[in-house]
Structures are given as C-alpha cells and as structure tokens.
Structure 1
Amino acid sequence: MGQTPRALQPSLSERHFFGAELRRMRERADLSQARLGAMIRFSADLVQRVETADRFPSREFVEACDRALAADGALIRLLPLLGKRPNSEGEPSVSSPAGDAGVANLLRTYSARPSGTSEMVIRVPFQPGVLDRAALDWLNASAGPLLSVTRRPGSPDQVREEDIFSAETALEMFRQLDHTHGAGRVHAQVQRYIEDELNRLLANPPASEAIGRRLYTLAAGFFELCGYQAVDTGAHGLAQRRYLRALRLTQAADDRLYGSYLLAVNIGHLALHCGHPEPALRMALTAVRGGEGLATPAVKAGLHAVVARSHARLGREGECLRHLDIAEGHLARSRPEDEPTWIRYFTTAYLADEMAHCFHDLGRPQQTQQHLAVALAALSPTHVRRLAIDTALLASSLAAAGRIDEACVAGREAVDHAAKTASHRCLQRVVEVQADLEPYRCELEVREFGEYVRHQLPLAAVRPPRLAAAAAIASR
C-alpha cells in the first residue's frame, strides 16, 4: 500500500504554500511524484521534499515543473514570494524560518522585538481629527478613476493579467500567514513585497484600463493588510496612514464599494480600538450613505455591524440592537458567489463575533457568551489570532458574570493561543483579562492564572500594582 501523503498547511509559511500548490497541480495532472520527477529530470525524492516544504526549490526546478504541469506560469509567478539567500552549500534557502520550528524561534526572540516595528513608528499618534476630512473627500469624489492609464501597446514592461494574478496570489498567502502567526511574523515580508514587486507594478503602464483598475484595487488590498498589521503591532498612527492610502487607491480604481468597506470596517474599527467611538460612528454612517445603491448584502451587513459597535461603545443599546437587526437581515439575503472576494469571510459566525463585542460593551455577559459560542465554533484552527482574541473576550465575559473558575480556564486557553502568535492585540486582550479578574485577585484560581501568564506569555504578565492602570486601558 502507498504511504499516505503528509498533510500540508499552506498558511504555515511561504515554502508550505508553494509545496501545497505543487502537489495540487501534480495531482490534478494525475502524476505520481516519480513520474513528475522523470519528466523534469529531477529525482522523485526532491519532488517529495519540495512538496512537504523540506527543500527550497531552485528556479530551474520550478520552471521545469511549470512546463510539465502546463501551469502557464502559475508556479513561476510564486517565486517572488520565496525570499531566498544562498546557504553554505550554494543551495537557495528561505530567508525566514519555516514551519513550527521557525515560529518557535520567532517567539523566543519576540520578547526582544515584540512587534518588529521601531519604537519611533509605534509612537506616531492616531489622529481622529484627520478622518472627517478624508471621509468627506471620499463621499464627494466624482465618479471615474482618478489616476490616468498610460498605454504603450506592446511595451515589455506593461502590467498584464498574469502579473495581477501573481500579486493576488501573494496577497491571499500573506493574509493566511497573518491570520495564523500575527503581524510580528509576517509584516516585514509584506512590506518587502510592496517595496519590490507591487511598486514595480504601480510604476508600469497597465495593458488596459480594466487591468489598471484591478491593479489599484489590489494595491488597496495590500495597504489594507499593512494597516491591519500595523494595528496588530501597536502602531496605530501608522495604521491610520496606511488605511487612508488604501482608501485613496480605491478612488483611483473607482471602486466605491471597497472604499465604503475600508471607511467603516477598517478605519471605523481602528477609531474604536483607539477609544474614539464618535469618529468611528461618523465613518460607518458615511460609508453606509456613500455605498447606497452599490453595497451587496454582506457589505451592508459589515457596515451596519460597525455602526452597532459604535453605538454599543457609546452606551446606546437601542440603536445598537436596531443596527444589529439590520445587519442580520442583510446577511440573511447574501449569496457568497455574488459577493466580492474580500467580504466573503463575513459569515453568520463573523457577525456573531461582532455581536459578542457589542454585548460585552453593553455589559450583558450572557448574550456575549452565547454569540461567542457561535463565533468560536466556526473558527478555523489556522485563525490562531482570532481564537486568542475571542477566547480572551470569553474569559472577560465570564469574569464579569462572576464565574471565576471558568474565566480562568478560558483565560489559560487564550494564553495558549496567544503564545503561538506575534500579535500585540493578543497580548493586549490577555492583559485585559487580568484586569477584569483584579477584583478577585485573592482567589487561588486567579493567582494561579497570573502565574500561568507569567510563565507562558511573560510580555502580557501584569503585576498587581499595575492592574489599576491596565483596567483603565481595558475600559477604553
């Protein structure tokens, strides 16, 4: 009997992602590893080791596989994702650690570099006063692309369909890695890709106006991810700048639908995260107004969820519940195949997550726990950061309900998830759990939980004298 192929985790590293794609294409062509090796004049063992991320593929290997599998350049276009350097044997190798060992090494150095972002950049302040002008400019922008498309037919440096496809593949891979490991593991690679590959594409003329618009929307997606990663490293001022750049790029692409999403879901959530619910509410309501007639059901649900979150933070329970009902109604009418790819993550489980945060802010722990149960049950095991954040929120909710034993159990689970990431937001949520348990600090379970945090996630450990300050931060 043949050996069962090793299970792959494409989101684990760039090398795993490439190996999974190679295996998928080989199996689609109904070829064994030995047969493919014979066709490309490489050993079957090398094919197996590349597929399982144990070897870095050379350019010659990738080009040969691309030809043999009739991939039409799909494998070759993945080469820029694999940042490489020569090793002592002259073989290329991945510059960043791959697999579980690489992530463990990263976590060991995380205490020295918790975010990978310079302290000076982290100190750049979030400026809520800037947002109203940006939202108004977006709302009043005239239709049509703002950036001209210079055509030079036949030019070898034109941006073509295959270039866009390659960059879209890269963006999807980076998003998967970010979900799994947090921004501390991935953001430098994303920034490097933008500086090298994306900026090259933006500097060259697109082959058509349609490709030009796709390019600007794609660029907006990269800067949205960069903004999200800046939030995850604690650099909120930098996140604001990146989100606003993404918003301008959607104007360049004449993609008002994506712009409404960025304004509410990204910029509005950032304002909430920084303790400014009034600007968050204005961003979300502007997005609802500006997206009228264009927004799909899932996008409408996402926009109204942010409106509800803002009202909850302001203590306006009636308005919060009204907009949650609107969001539920829109999402019930959504069909994933009719939605833009960037909103398809917004399922009933994700809306349950938004509802849980609303009820937590409204001081209703029972409803918080009910909705978190739905959200957590549907989360993929690879979405480690979201598992950590939602489990920590569950612990805080249990603490608010006086269920201290259960809160400590959930808190330990949140710590275990957070320890697998390099995420400032995960650390922050674990700090908030400790602040919520502060009234019960004399209980044995709470003291043991504090010791567990100190051993498993020392960056999130809060000593008793600091808990009052932590509680103030958590209540923002």
Structure 2
Amino acid sequence: MFDQYRQLGQTGNPGSLLPTLIAQTHLLRELSAHAGSSTREDLLKLGSRYAEYVGWLAQEAGDERAALWWTQRAVDLAAAGGDHDLAAYGLVRRALVTLYRGDAEHTVELARRAQTSKVPLRIRGLAAQREAQGHALAGDYDACMRSLDVARALFAHHATASDAPVIGSMNLSDSVAMITGWCLHDLGRPKEAAEALDAQLAQVSSRALRTQVRYGARRALAYAVAGEVDHACDLTGRLLDGAMTVSSATIAADLRSLARALARHPLNRSVRALTPELNAALQIVNP
C-alpha cells in the first residue's frame, strides 16, 4: 500500500493524499501498541516512512511548518522502532526546506551532519547530493563538484536486497547526473544544465509526472536563461497541464523564476503567447 501511495503522489494533488496518509500513520502507531516486539518494530518503522512521506507532501503543498513537524515525527517513530538511521535522512529533508528558502549555508550544514560514517551509504549519498545543491546555491563550483563525486562513489557502493521502501526518489535512473544538471543552473552554467537535464529527463518514466514536471521546469528555466527563449517556451507549454495536476509549491518556485526570465523578452512572440497560460497555471499550482 505504501508503494502505491508513493506512485499516486507522482500524479495527484498532495492535499488529496494527506488525510489518508496521516490516518495510515496514526493507525500503524496504534497497532504497534498492541503487537509483539518484532512486529511492533516493523509497524513503527513503516509508520515512520509514512510520516516522512507526509512531511514531503506537506512541503509540496507549501506548508513548511507541517513538513518539518512530520519529518521530526518520522524520526521519532523510527527511533522507537529501533531504526536510528532515519534521523540522518531527516536532516537531508530539512536541508531541502532550507534549499528552497535560498539558505545555502544551512543547507550545507544540515547535509554535512547527515554524512557520518555510521549512516547507511544511500542516505550519505543523498546527503552529499543535497550538500552539492547548497554549494551550487552559494556559487561554489569546486565544492559542489566534490560533493557530487562523493555522492556518486557512495551510490556506486550501495547495494541492498531489502524489501523495505526505498529512501529518496524511486524515479531517477541516475540521480547524481540529474542533480548535476540542477546544480549547473545555480552555478551560472545554464546551457550545460539544460543539456544534462535533457539527457536525464529522457529516462524518467511517463508515470512519474511530478518528477518530470519538477526537473522539466528547471530545464525550461535553464534554456530561458541561456537565451534559447523559443525553446524554453515550447518546453514550458508542454509542462503546464502536468504542473496544474500535481500542484507543487517546489515546482512553482522554478515556474515563478521562469516567468521572470521570460518577462525579460516582452517582444518575443512565443513569450507573449505563453505568458497568460503560465500566469494562470501559477495561480492554480501554488496560489
């Protein structure tokens, strides 16, 4: 059921899923109180994953306070179930909140705290990626590339036969390559960013709508900043229906940046045709 809910989260409004997911989290916690020790731990661990997912969807819905509260709730449930590794991933999630606030310093700090040697390789890899995004936001190319190299090495050595839910995105075939494209835009290399995102988006499943729109918006922004305005408008036009369907505050952040970038070309025919649709979509995506 949890895997199915994660798939639904790729194609729907986060607000429509939150009540059900919150109810599932509470149910698992209550069931754990009446279970034997082994089953109790499993229920609490699964409950922690539900809570972490609720936190992510709350951020997608634009509620940072709820996102942070549920992330901490996930850490507490995991610890009660004997899983202390999720605390590190909680730091990675908190760093995503600070990243969207434009706070590079705290993004790097939180991501570094999640990279202790006792943390599983996958979580350390995700933390290194987040650190890279923080460095990119600060304009530090060398530090960003070093963190991406660390992430790549950690993922290369990570292997698991566990049937536990995957931590982090399930929809990126090469997350380091995708995040590299993301970072290159913030580092002032929009053309390189657009090309990297082109290559990775071609490998994202059509069923992963939220992932396609999130990175697709960043790709369109990169092309707009690189001066390929007509192409940026074409890409954006294809994204708008999906953006309105998934209704994401984080995607809206890039769409607003894209609207500002396109507004610098008021005489461009493609910009003039797209602007009313883009503005209308923004009102629906994150009013």
**TM-score over 0.5 for the pair:** yes
State whether structure 2 residue 83 is matched by structure 1 residue 255: yes
Question: How has the CA–CA distance of structure 1 residues 347 and 414 changed in structure 2, closer, same or farther, with 3 Å as cutoff?
Answer: closer
The amino acid that maps onto 2:221 is S
> Which of 83, 91, 111 in structure 2 is aligned with 1:284?
111
The amino acid that maps onto 1:300 is R
| Aligned residue number for residue 177 of structure 1 | 8
Give the distance between the partners of 1:390 and 1:347, measured in 2 at CA: 11
| Aligned residue number for residue 316 of structure 1 | 140
Give unmatched runs, 5+ long, in structure 2: none
State whether structure 2 residue 197 is matched by structure 1 residue 372: yes
Question: How has the CA–CA distance of structure 1 residues 307 and 251 changed in structure 2, closer, same or farther, with 3 Å as cutoff?
Answer: same
Question: How has the CA–CA distance of structure 1 residues 241 and 339 changed in structure 2, closer, same or farther, with 3 Å as cutoff?
Answer: same
For these two proteins, the number of residue pairs brought into alignment is 285
After superposition, residues 35-434 of structure 1 pair within 5 angstroms as 169=1, 171-195=2-26, 197-202=27-32, 204-208=33-37, 210-264=38-92, 266-289=93-116, 292-296=117-121, 298-337=122-161, 341-343=165-167, 345=170, 348-434=173-259
Deviates more, 1:428-437 or 1:385-394: 428-437
Give the distance between the partners of 1:459 and 1:372, measured in 2 at CA: 26
The amino acid that maps onto 2:166 is W
Contact 2:171 2:211 (8 Å CA) reproduced = no
Contact 1:307 1:320 (8 Å CA) reproduced = yes
Contact 2:255 2:282 (8 Å CA) reproduced = no
| Percent of residue pairs identical | 23
Q: Deviation per CA, 1:386-430, whole angstroms, max 9, x where unpaired?
A: 111111111100011100110101111121221322333333332
TM-score (norm 2): 0.90
Greater RCO structure (CA 8 Å; 6+ sep): 2
The offset of 1:241, in angstroms, is 1.0
Contact 2:45 2:83 (8 Å CA) reproduced = yes
Contact 2:204 2:212 (8 Å CA) reproduced = yes
Contact 1:268 1:283 (8 Å CA) reproduced = yes
The offset of 1:381, in angstroms, is 1.4
The offset of 1:340, in angstroms, is 5.4
Give unmatched runs, 5+ long, in structure 1: 1-168, 463-476
Two-structure CA RMSD over aligned residues (Å): 2.3
Q: Deviation per CA, 1:110-166, whole angstroms, max 9, x where unpaired?
A: xxxxxxxxxxxxxxxxxxxxxxxxxxxxxxxxxxxxxxxxxxxxxxxxxxxxxxxxx
Give the distance between the partners of 1:294 and 1:322, measured in 2 at CA: 19
Q: Deviation per CA, 1:205-258, whole angstroms, max 9, x where unpaired?
A: 3212x3222222212111111111111111111111111111222222232323
Give the distance between the partners of 1:417 and 1:329, measured in 2 at CA: 34
TM-score (norm 1): 0.56
Give the distance between the partners of 2:143 and 2:173, measured in 1 at CA: 20
Which protein is richer in helix relative to its size? Answer: 2
Contact 1:427 1:459 (8 Å CA) reproduced = no
Question: How has the CA–CA distance of structure 1 residues 371 and 254 changed in structure 2, closer, same or farther, with 3 Å as cutoff?
Answer: farther
Give the distance between the partners of 2:200 and 2:163, measured in 1 at CA: 21
Give the distance between the partners of 1:385 and 1:302, measured in 2 at CA: 19
The offset of 1:188, in angstroms, is 2.3
Deviates more, 1:419-428 or 1:267-276: 419-428
Contact 1:391 1:413 (8 Å CA) reproduced = no
Whichever of the two has the greater Rg, that structure is 1
The offset of 1:339, in angstroms, is 8.7
Give the distance between the partners of 1:427 and 1:295, measured in 2 at CA: 32
Give the distance between the partners of 1:194 and 1:370, measured in 2 at CA: 40
Contact 1:223 1:242 (8 Å CA) reproduced = yes
